[in-house]
Structure 1
Amino acid sequence: MKINKINTSLLPLSVKSLTKALICGTLMMGMAGCEDDLLLEPENNITQNSFYTTELQISQALSGVYSAMVNASSRGGYDVNFYLLASEVRSNNFNAISQNGNRDYYAINRFQDTSSTDEIEILWEDAYQQISYANMLLSRIDAVPFADPAVKEQYRSEARFLRAYAYFELMRTFGKVPLIDKPVSPEEAAKIPRTDLATLYNFITSEIEASVAGLKNVYDAANKGRITKSAAHAMLGRIYLTGSGYPLNNGSYAEKAKEHLFAVIQGEGQFITFAPTYADLFKSANDNKYHIFEIQHISGGLSQGSYLPSYVSPNFGTADPYYNAQGSLFSSAELGVSQSLINTFEPGDLRLPLTVRTSFIAQNGQPDNANFFVKFREKGMVLTNRYDWPINFPIIRYADVLLMYAEILNNQGNTSAAVPYLNRIRQRAGLAPVPASISVSDFTTALRKERRVEFAGEGVYWHDLVRWNTGVTVINQAAAQLNYNYTITTNDYLYQIPLSQIQVAGYDQNP
């Protein structure tokens, strides 16, 4: 099965209908909206008992677990919902100027979102959809005969990883969330309470650690994009480093993060490739070449493309080399890259023009000054619609592994060992190295700035602010400088549980 560009058509229509019914019951997405689906007889008399019975069907079901991350029916996908709206837009990397159309991104950027904010509810639903797909597969795979037991274990490991990964994103976004690790009825789902953070961390890390042995280091061309051992180690590094910071502040997690990150670094040259230039990282021709874990996209009107570039860029005029005939949500008066982010780039940083542009030629042929991301936008790309961009979205890049590892070394007082990792990233960006004699404090400042510009637009910075617990200071200072009439507290690090879930399951909104 080719995974490098996952296609949901691998799931038969009858199974899609069945799975939708199962999801509705499992995810507490509102009884009324799911009632009819639960009563449907699946087409061709395929039932949940008869579908998950062959190796091919398990393979198809696993494609569905992966595809849950991808844009479907204009809902955005994980790259738009988790990494753009809930993360990047939340930070001071973006600046929402006007409330045109009462857009959700304005509310998110200005900390005016509520339990009824649509985009946040979509995020919750899509993550639990992925969890539901994985739960069903994992509940059935043991009874299915496989020609090769190693393939069976690989599929199981991929599903366990993806389920744990979805829970990690939910936990970072909402804090305590209900832990559902098997198919359940609507009645059972509505009775499952929110789970405390320590239990969630234990479940997530144990699931991914258990998956490592069954995963491969590399895959052939037809299977590029599957979860690798390096992806599992990198994700564990991110999860443990997150848990070592705010709010859990589990000091023992830092050493575990260090071990897993070093396991990735040891594979460079064999399993991991450091991109020679920053531009190489953001070309669709290089998908599944430099990133460790990425969301798979393909253009051609298959509903598997990315929506993110059109979400954050203008509808250019024909004179602009980045022209896209399809429209976008962007206007220079709505949502743009903050001047604060642009000012963070050092003079001569090669990443700046590859990340942000500050003007474009409008459709009327006149220049329009606006700051916007171009990182995932490719020149001359012809699309079927604005949801059709082909470039994959990086969930974890190798540069992130290097910088997380350097951060831990520095925090442990071994700054001299951390310096080469930071300088490697700076050298690629065309910047002077930091001195080997740099202090722990100055290195911390340099590394945090480096992370902001290196991963701008990728949904990393907001979560950094949270785990460092600097978000309150940074956001309030930015709001004051822009004369915005709001301040935040640590309670604003998390989003409110969607109202639909509160109505069905009675969750409280306590962090």
Structure 2
Amino acid sequence: MKKHIYIIANLLAVFALASCESELNQIPLSQETTENFYSTQNDFIQARNATYSYAFHGANEYGYPNRILNLSEVRSDNFYATTQASRDWEGINNFFTSLSTNPLIKEAYVSNYNAIYKANQLLEKLESNGNVITAETERTYMKAEASFLRAFCYFDLIRWFGRVPLIKNTLSPQEVSKIGRTPVTEIYNLILSDLQFAVDNLPPSYDEANYGRVTKYGAKGLLAQVYMTRSSPNYGIDGAMLGLNEWDKAYQQLNDIKISNQFVFATDYASIFKTEGNANKENVLVIPYSQNTGNGVGGNFEIELGYQPYFASLNLSEQGSLEYKPISSSFLSMFDVNDTRRGVTLAETYTVTSGTYLGTYTANPVVKKYIDASRYGNGRTDWGVDFIVLRYTDVLMLMAECTLHGGGGSQADVDDIVNDIRERGGLARDASNVDLNRLFNERRMEFFGEGTRWFDLIRSGNAIATLNAWKTLEDTSGSLGIIDKNSLLYPIPLQEFLTAPGLYDQNPGYD
């Protein structure tokens, strides 16, 4: 059984103590209760682990992996996920303007702020009570982890919503109700400061017992993505993209990961998604899950791009994936006939031999790269499959992207990276003079189903044109709404307007 930092006998005590607040203006712990809790080293360890859990696993059964698959993957040109039923993800895929009450969007907002609250609280208590942690090194690691997680959540928020309230301390509901949407540039100041502190103070690696804790190189990977997002075209919207030329800064962070020799380019594509723990040298930043623990640390992101008949073909219990999410024909047509990644990524023919879904399915391809029946536990929320937030192949391809923007490296480096990836997929090393368009197409095949596509579209500078070309090709039913620059941000959830009337303005283009 894997050991994860989230699995602690007393973890539920932290959740009971802190509770899962469901609004931004969450009610903080009473001063007395807080002080009583943060009185031992074990209290701080539990609080740190709870902060990880809030940031990665969310406040309910849906966490960051579920979010990224719905808000990035399903929103992109990788899926044409229309349905006859009313599903939360349909409005995401269809570019509806009435999304301010969408539960998936609300989850992204609320879960991130709950995690930010926990990170702020932990940082404050480390300052006032941290001397109960006997080892100064561990105290520094904990502060760096809390700083990383706060930055992680704020970066997630501004990529989805643009301007959001900047809250750097634990505040009362009355205090929060006076904080409006903060300029993105000001939020970036905190993100960069937090990430630099994390880079400077986290260790390069952990032992297996601490697998899942963020390392120096996980922080560098996120910092690189921050620089790349800041450098992306802003499309004339008030989002996370600032049009800055920081590709060299991103390249430096990514190259530090490369030359660390902590990570290895896997020779077998399928092994990336089957190998667990420190043995998986592709993992730079990972969210670990375990099944059959009884501690609620199993995942269920596998269901987001799944389909119930496929799960039934594996003799697994009901997963709730009753509506099929069609994969875009434009994506399916990209693969060379010899590309072995297609077989790892997709289940295109599968048979159910008994029960409700009896039959052979040939017209409903399913993303299977993360579906491993051997790591299935006791129900749909008990998968023990880790979610890779950033893998080494992504580091290399992001470096190539920075190179093509003049951030460092050479054209030969770019071509070598693409050819290494093609060769691993069973293809010829015939890529030369790779440009950004070719690189993004290669990324689309390599990372399909991993939640990167939306952000790739944004960075490409061609998101609107690409999505409208996809709409013309795929939307034969006329289900999709208008796709323009306003579509590149999600709306601030309606609940925030109701909680503090007059405090917020809505992102343009939404009802």
Quick one: which amino acid aligns to residue 460 of structure 1? T
Provide the residue aligned with 1:7 in structure 2: 7
**C-alpha offsets along residues 87-129 of structure 1, whole Å, 9 cap, x if unaligned?**
11100111113141x1111110001151111111012111111
Provide the residue aligned with 2:248 in structure 1: 255
- How far apart are 1:423 and its partner, in Å? 1.8
CA–CA distance in structure 2, aligned partners of residues 238 and 41 of structure 1: 37
Quick one: which amino acid aligns to residue 465 of structure 2? T
Provide the residue aligned with 2:335 in structure 1: 345
**C-alpha offsets along residues 452-471 of structure 1, whole Å, 9 cap, x if unaligned?**
11111111011111122322
Q: Does 1:328 align with 2:320?
A: yes
CA–CA distance in structure 2, aligned partners of residues 110 and 253 of structure 1: 33
Residues 374-413 of structure 1 aligned to structure 2 (within 5 Å) = 374-412=368-406
Provide the residue aligned with 1:122 in structure 2: 107
Pair 1:299–1:73, CA change in 2 (3 A): farther
CA–CA distance in structure 1, aligned partners of residues 482 and 9 of structure 2: 46
Provide the residue aligned with 1:446 in structure 2: 438
Of 358, 367, 384 in structure 2, the residue corresponding to residue 365 of structure 1 is 358
Q: Does 1:424 align with 2:420?
A: yes
Provide the residue aligned with 2:91 in structure 1: 107
Of 169, 173, 180 in structure 1, the residue corresponding to residue 156 of structure 2 is 169
Pair 1:344–1:90, CA change in 2 (3 A): same
**C-alpha offsets along residues 379-427 of structure 1, whole Å, 9 cap, x if unaligned?**
4554311111111101111111100101111221932232212222222
Pair 1:488–1:345, CA change in 2 (3 A): same
Runs of 5+ consecutive residues of structure 2 not aligned to the other structure = 235-240
Provide the residue aligned with 1:468 in structure 2: 460
**Equivalent position SS for 1:106:** helix
After TM superposition, the structure 1 stretch with the greater mean CA deviation from structure 2, 156-165 or 246-255, is 246-255
Provide the residue aligned with 1:265 in structure 2: 258
**C-alpha offsets along residues 164-185 of structure 1, whole Å, 9 cap, x if unaligned?**
0011011101111111111000
Residues 217-232 of structure 1 aligned to structure 2 (within 5 Å) = 217-232=204-219
- How far apart are 1:52 and its partner, in Å? 1.4
- How far apart are 1:432 and its partner, in Å? 1.8
**Equivalent position SS for 1:171:** helix
Q: Does 1:295 align with 2:287?
A: yes
Check conservation: 2:312, 2:318, Cα contact below 8 A.
no
Pair 1:254–1:10, CA change in 2 (3 A): farther
Provide the residue aligned with 2:493 in structure 1: 498
CA–CA distance in structure 1, aligned partners of residues 60 and 246 of structure 2: 38
Pair 1:99–1:206, CA change in 2 (3 A): farther
Check conservation: 1:294, 1:394, Cα contact below 8 A.
yes
CA–CA distance in structure 2, aligned partners of residues 279 and 104 of structure 1: 31
Residues 55-94 of structure 1 aligned to structure 2 (within 5 Å) = 55-71=41-57, 75-81=61-67, 83-94=68-79
**Equivalent position SS for 2:369:** coil
Provide the residue aligned with 2:185 in structure 1: 198
Pair 1:197–1:119, CA change in 2 (3 A): same
**Equivalent position SS for 1:195:** coil
CA–CA distance in structure 2, aligned partners of residues 229 and 205 of structure 1: 14
**C-alpha offsets along residues 158-216 of structure 1, whole Å, 9 cap, x if unaligned?**
11001100110111011111111110000111111111121122211121011112111
CA–CA distance in structure 2, aligned partners of residues 331 and 118 of structure 1: 17
Check conservation: 1:360, 1:370, Cα contact below 8 A.
no
**Equivalent position SS for 2:255:** helix
Quick one: which amino acid aligns to residue 73 of structure 2? E
- How far apart are 1:49 and its partner, in Å? 1.3
**Equivalent position SS for 2:309:** coil
Check conservation: 2:291, 2:298, Cα contact below 8 A.
yes
Check conservation: 1:312, 1:330, Cα contact below 8 A.
no
- How far apart are 1:502 and its partner, in Å? 1.4
Quick one: which amino acid aligns to residue 453 of structure 2? Y
CA–CA distance in structure 2, aligned partners of residues 152 and 41 of structure 1: 24
CA–CA distance in structure 2, aligned partners of residues 206 and 319 of structure 1: 48
Q: Does 1:308 align with 2:301?
A: yes
TM-score of the aligned structures, taking structure 1 as reference length: 0.89
Check conservation: 1:160, 1:208, Cα contact below 8 A.
yes
- How far apart are 1:74 and its partner, in Å? 5.3
Check conservation: 1:70, 1:296, Cα contact below 8 A.
no
After TM superposition, the structure 1 stretch with the greater mean CA deviation from structure 2, 52-61 or 416-425, is 416-425
**C-alpha offsets along residues 243-290 of structure 1, whole Å, 9 cap, x if unaligned?**
10032344332111011011001112xx21222211111115457722
**Equivalent position SS for 2:445:** helix
Provide the residue aligned with 2:169 in structure 1: 182
CA–CA distance in structure 1, aligned partners of residues 58 and 122 of structure 2: 21
Provide the residue aligned with 2:267 in structure 1: 276
**Equivalent position SS for 2:336:** coil
**Equivalent position SS for 2:365:** strand
Runs of 5+ consecutive residues of structure 1 not aligned to the other structure = none
CA–CA distance in structure 1, aligned partners of residues 3 and 48 of structure 2: 10
CA–CA distance in structure 2, aligned partners of residues 277 and 471 of structure 1: 31
Quick one: which amino acid aligns to residue 260 of structure 1? Q
Provide the residue aligned with 2:238 in structure 1: none
Pair 1:282–1:84, CA change in 2 (3 A): same
Provide the residue aligned with 1:507 in structure 2: 504
TM-score of the aligned structures, taking structure 2 as reference length: 0.89
CA–CA distance in structure 1, aligned partners of residues 99 and 358 of structure 2: 39
Check conservation: 2:247, 2:406, Cα contact below 8 A.
no
Quick one: which amino acid aligns to residue 179 of structure 2? I
CA–CA distance in structure 1, aligned partners of residues 395 and 63 of structure 2: 24
Quick one: which amino acid aligns to residue 348 of structure 1? N
Pair 1:286–1:219, CA change in 2 (3 A): closer
Check conservation: 1:6, 1:67, Cα contact below 8 A.
yes
CA–CA distance in structure 1, aligned partners of residues 311 and 12 of structure 2: 41
Check conservation: 1:284, 1:392, Cα contact below 8 A.
no
Provide the residue aligned with 1:97 in structure 2: 82
CA–CA distance in structure 2, aligned partners of residues 68 and 16 of structure 1: 10
Identity of aligned residues (%): 30
**C-alpha offsets along residues 284-324 of structure 1, whole Å, 9 cap, x if unaligned?**
5457722111112111153211211123222237983x332
Quick one: which amino acid aligns to residue 4 of structure 2? N
Check conservation: 2:112, 2:153, Cα contact below 8 A.
yes
- How far apart are 1:4 and its partner, in Å? 2.5
Quick one: which amino acid aligns to residue 372 of structure 2? E
